[in-house]
């Protein structure tokens, strides 16, 4: 199942480290090559000799044990097809999220550009700590959340390492499920900015997180990705930075003919200022001012219209942000726009949508089919979206 694949398995200092011995055996039975990297504290819970016998490879712990003049953290990052950190402690997760490289495992994680699976395990209070949760949500990795139950510390709650089968299955999925190989996927994200003057502008609350999750997921699924965004992004695919709706329209149009799929996840301003003031507007004695707005182009509608006359048109996927009557408004929008799929989300809810790391969406297609994806991490929602789009 995993023949020819190399798995870099990171083990950190948690009581669940002993369970990873069986995970190594599962990987080896699937014919994978397993490279084990431990934090120093991990060896308080499982021995180096045991891990070496199971993996049939030396176990790396020290950061500067350099062989053949190759920096070890770079050498390991280059050799592996995927990195799995299990159990992942709050300490290690927080270090990785902040870019701290104070041991071999965190240094490798910083240099690793391929898929990464994080399987946290810790005390339930540590899991729920808001500072830790903020650090966790900064990671654009596959997070396999811990399970609830009786914990080694005596507490009962969420913190147990998820099942080894779940870690194994996710590893197989990421290494073998590449439905987007050979596909060119264009994704827009963020809220456009319409200048009023050199100081002020009109925009919206879009964080760009959903578009970024879609771009990261598409890349992991084998696609050639272009992200057109209003946000500062530095990822391992083509990123086009834009500002206004007109900028975004121009960038998307350039990608149209060479794309297999265009996903319009950006929150594009419906209107822009008719005349942008070249200098800062000064406050006057008047209690009111009037700024004239003009309608921006409907990029999604224009793409759908263009598709009707194109011989090699891409799939067009729109997004629909609604604060009321979600399904009714979404059905009306997909009918008017003519896109292949429309993804509707409820922006009135505080636990999903703008600025949240979670989302809950309803996917409509041009044939009238409707599928709801329940609340989950945006990266999980992104993966399910591609399953729907490409079957």
How many CA atoms, within 13 angstroms, populate the side-chain half-sphere of residue 363?
21
SS3 call for 346:
strand
85 contacts 53 by C-beta, under 8 angstroms: no
Count other Cβ atoms within 10 Å, centred on residue 130.
Answer: 7
How many CA atoms, within 13 angstroms, populate the side-chain half-sphere of residue 75?
14
Annotated catalytic sites, by residue?
Answer: 153
SS3 call for 139:
coil
Specify the long-range contacts of residues 146-153, CB closer than 8 Å, at least 24 apart: 146/119, 146/120, 146/121, 146/122, 148/124, 151/123, 151/124, 152/15, 152/16, 153/123
170 contacts 117 by C-beta, under 8 angstroms: yes
Q: What is the C-alpha radius of gyration for the chain, rounded to an integer number of angstroms?
A: 24
Dihedrals phi, psi of 150, to nearest 5 degrees: -75, 130
């Amino acid at each position: 199942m995993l023949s020819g694949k190399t798995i870099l398995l990171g083990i950190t200092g948690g009581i669940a480290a002993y369970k990873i011995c069986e995970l190594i055996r599962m990987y080896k039975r699937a014919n994978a090559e397993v490279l084990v990297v431990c934090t120093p504290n991990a060896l308080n819970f499982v021995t180096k000799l045991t891990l070496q016998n199971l993996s049939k490879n030396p176990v790396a712990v020290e950061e500067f044990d350099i062989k053949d003049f190759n920096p070890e953290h770079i050498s390991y990052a280059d050799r592996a097809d995927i990195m799995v950190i299990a159990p992942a402690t709050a300490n290690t997760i927080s270090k990785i999220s902040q870019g701290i490289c104070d041991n071999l495992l965190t240094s490798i994680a910083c240099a690793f550009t391929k898929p990464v699976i994080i399987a946290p395990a810790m005390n339930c209070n540590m899991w729920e700590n808001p500072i830790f949760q903020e650090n966790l949500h900064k990671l654009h990795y596959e997070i396999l959340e811990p399970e609830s139950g009786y914990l080694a510390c005596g507490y009962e709650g969420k913190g147990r390492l998820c099942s080894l089968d779940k870690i194994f299955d996710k590893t197989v999925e990421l290494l073998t499920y590449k439905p987007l190989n050979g596909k060119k996927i264009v994704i827009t994200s963020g809220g456009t900015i319409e200048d009023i003057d050199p100081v002020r502008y009109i925009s919206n609350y879009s964080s760009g997180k959903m578009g970024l999750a879609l771009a990261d997921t598409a890349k992991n699924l084998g696609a050639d990705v272009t992200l057109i965004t209003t946000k500062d992004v530095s990822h391992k695919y083509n990123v086009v930075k834009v500002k206004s709706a007109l900028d975004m329209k121009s960038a998307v149009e350039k990608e149209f003919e060479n794309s297999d799929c265009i996903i319009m996840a950006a929150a594009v301003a419906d209107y822009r200022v008719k005349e942008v003031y070249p200098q800062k507007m000064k406050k006057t004695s008047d209690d009111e001012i009037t700024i004239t707005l003009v309608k921006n182009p409907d990029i999604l509608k224009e793409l759908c219209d263009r598709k009707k006359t194109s011989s090699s048109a891409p799939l067009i996927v729109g997004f629909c942000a609604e604060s009321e009557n979600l399904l009714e408004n979404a059905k009306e929008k997909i009918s008017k726009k003519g896109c292949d799929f429309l993804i509707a989300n409820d922006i009135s809810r505080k636990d999903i949508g703008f600025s949240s790391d979670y989302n809950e969406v309803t996917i409509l297609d041009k044939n009238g089919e409707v599928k709801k994806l329940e609340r989950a991490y945006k990266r999980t929602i992104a993966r399910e979206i591609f399953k729907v789009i490409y079957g």
